Amino acid sequence: MSEQQTTQTPAFEEVVTHTPVRDIALPGDAGTLALVTLDNGFDHTKPNTFGPQTIAGLQQTVARLRERAEAGEIAAVAITGKPFIFAVGADLKAVALATRREQALEVARAGHTVFGAIMDLPVPTFAFVNGAAMGGGVELTLACDYRTISSGVPAVALPETFLGLVPGWGGCFLLPNLVGPANALKVIIDNPMNMNRMLKGPQAFELGMADAMFEAADFLEESLLWAGRVITGETTVERPEISRDEAEWEGAVKAAKGMVDLKTGGKAPAPYRALDLVAAARTATRAEAFAAEDEALADLVMGDELRAGLYSFDLVQKRAKRPAGAPDKSLARPVTKVGIVGAGLMASQLALLFAQRLEVPVVLTDLDQERVDKGVGYVHAEVDKLLGKGRVGPDKANRLKALVTGGTTKDGFADADFVIEAVFEEMSVKKQVWAEVEAIVTRECVLATNTSSLSITEMASDLENPERVVGFHFFNPVAVMPLLEIIKGERTDDATLATAFATGKALRKTTILVKDSPSFIVNRLLGRFMGEVAKVVDEGTPIEVADRAFAGLAPMPPFILLGLVGPAIALHNNETLAKAFPDRFYVSENLRRVVEARKPAIYIWPEGKPVVDPEVEALFEKPADPVVLSAEQVRERVLSVLAEEARLMLDEGVAQAPMDLDLAMITGAGFQFWNGGLTPLLDREGVSEKVTGRRFLPPGAASVPA
């Protein structure tokens, strides 16, 4: 076998992003600009990416542009994207297929070669960022001499460390040398580590990632005129000088490292490699920096964290769009009006979401007019915020407000197709609500419950038509958390289930089918997790030690999460689970005392830093013979019970497959991409086999292929 064959990444069906060129005569004797448009031939729902064929094609295009520039045929080169999309980076399928380090190294070097060729063109180069730009797409813009950006760009990001990679086609070198180390680390580290936040066009411009910003309507025309003025010298591009002060760079890197430590607990290598690369960018030559990025990429591609990240990406991008076990979508009934029982915060959030996404009338009801007015008022205030931010126009704002009404009776539900309740989490209350609603609505109206833990089957048991009751469990805050658990009761029929899935899709939520069982997926796993952590603390381990054990697993330490969820809600969930599974689920008497004392959280935040509330600490009874565990021992013990619970849930049919447990924990609980949610982490650390005797996933599914 030849050397070329051994290093080549296995072939796959690539959607090639083409790079056609057209010549544009710039005004004012600026000469001819060769405009390259990145376009894979599909609309914006399939973004431009860089696979091996795309990189090879771009290399040929750049080589031809160099010939033309040297011949004096063109005065400048510009690169832009198809409508709404610039480019979103490397084709991850190519990365996933690399089975040897040499193949990963080849992917890294190929990107650097072509981007380096753009940097070395003998004429000025421009990136016209017209749409979403991520990863290698951002790095392509950094390879150009000048950048313009549309004010309408929805997303600019270097999300690599979120997945388990580094920006490896120049990002770790070029960005800090353009905008300074602190600003660069916001994009390379801070945003990915905080639930993969994205910048919008104006934010990227403010950060210095573009030299000029224009409105979306005439973006290309304005960018071409601006480029012409730059070429003729009429416009001078001024950028702040980047400090070379070692202390300044070290300070920025140290601050970012502190945040990475907090988020990952040292368990994810990618952000640390990115920090090293950014630190080196202060003094490195381009060749040295690119070579270092090549080595980092090759190492990380051959690491399990990236493979788990790619597995997570695949879950969110593909499995989420085709929910396992969902009935034929042709069975779904149209939803032309929605009723919501309750007008509290959750109900109000639901009203806003249904109005925004479905654009159908939404009727809120509650016990008294004051509560109803407050609920409708919340929706109107949120719409006004959207208007103020320019995310909706005045006409759309007025339409949305008009869609949401309220009253103290349920008569407005008579012609509703879908009614959801968001009332107190008590079975008798919910049964009473459904009895009242059933007396008013049509036989086909879907009755959806937002219960977080109660039995759908029992809730429907006294109704004339129990087959139209379905669990429809959102996560808080509704606008932010993607997950929607759809729970099938024993008598829920396929038409109801199909309508629930179609409605969830229209709401742009990640929908997962769940068997009717206590607390469903996320709250059951979190209940086992939080219960075991509470047990460890009740036995004598300090809260701060227990909280340190989970950096890099959960989005925040468990006792901080407890404050966010609310001690009373956490206690109720654990009581529900302990009633169903008394041998496994623990109810903390210390937590009960916190709830009885009406303490809203475990921590207080003087000077912005979490400290255990002394009043809460005083409520905790100290054991006579304390057992104090280390953070590592706490982690191992809690991961062990999670492995046991996950296996039991799969054996019981609560979820269709391990992938659904992982998708739920990623989108409903914020578990990390680089862990693959939960089960790949349990497999990677050997906990699955130790506790249950077998892995959850086959080797290579979310780890480096053997």
> Would you list the DSSP string of 547-595?
HHTTBTTBSS-HHHHHHHH-HHHHHHHHHHHHHH-TTT----HHHHHHH
Query: What pLDDT was estimated at residue 554?
Result: 82
CB 476 within 8 A of CB 353: no
Query: What pLDDT was estimated at residue 659?
Result: 98
Residue 430 has pLDDT above 90, yes or no: yes
Stretch 581-587: mean pLDDT: 95
Residue 9 has pLDDT above 70, yes or no: no
pLDDT classification of 460: cutoffs 50, 70, 90: very high
In which element (H, E) is residue 136 found?
helix 136-143
Residue 4 has pLDDT above 60, yes or no: no
Stretch 235-243: mean pLDDT: 95
Q: How far is CA 241 from CA 212, 547, 665, in A?
A: 17, 42, 44
d(CA 438, CA 445): 9
Average the pLDDT over each of 59-63, 200-204, 206-210, 424-428 and give the range with the smallest value. 424-428
* Percentage of the chain lying above the pLDDT 90 cut: 89
Query: What pLDDT was estimated at residue 10?
Result: 55
d(CA 56, CA 9): 14
Stretch 581-590: mean pLDDT: 95
Residue whose entry in the numeric block shows the structure tokens 């090293």: 276
pLDDT classification of 2: cutoffs 50, 70, 90: very low
Q: pLDDT tens for residues 291-331?
A: 999 999 999 999 999 999 999 999 998 999 999 999 999 99
Stretch 454-480: mean pLDDT: 95
pLDDT classification of 5: cutoffs 50, 70, 90: very low
Average the pLDDT over each of 193-202, 259-268, 538-547, 690-699 and give the range with the smallest value. 259-268
Q: pLDDT tens for residues 622-678?
A: 999 999 999 999 999 999 999 999 999 999 999 999 999 999 999 999 999 999 999
Query: What pLDDT was estimated at residue 387?
Result: 92
Both structure tokens of 103: 């193949």
Q: How far is CA 10 from CA 59, 107, 270, 313, in A?
A: 20, 12, 24, 20
Residue 6 has pLDDT above 50, yes or no: no
Q: What is the mean pLDDT of the chain?
A: 94
What are the E-state strand segments in 456-529? 469-474, 483-488, 510-515
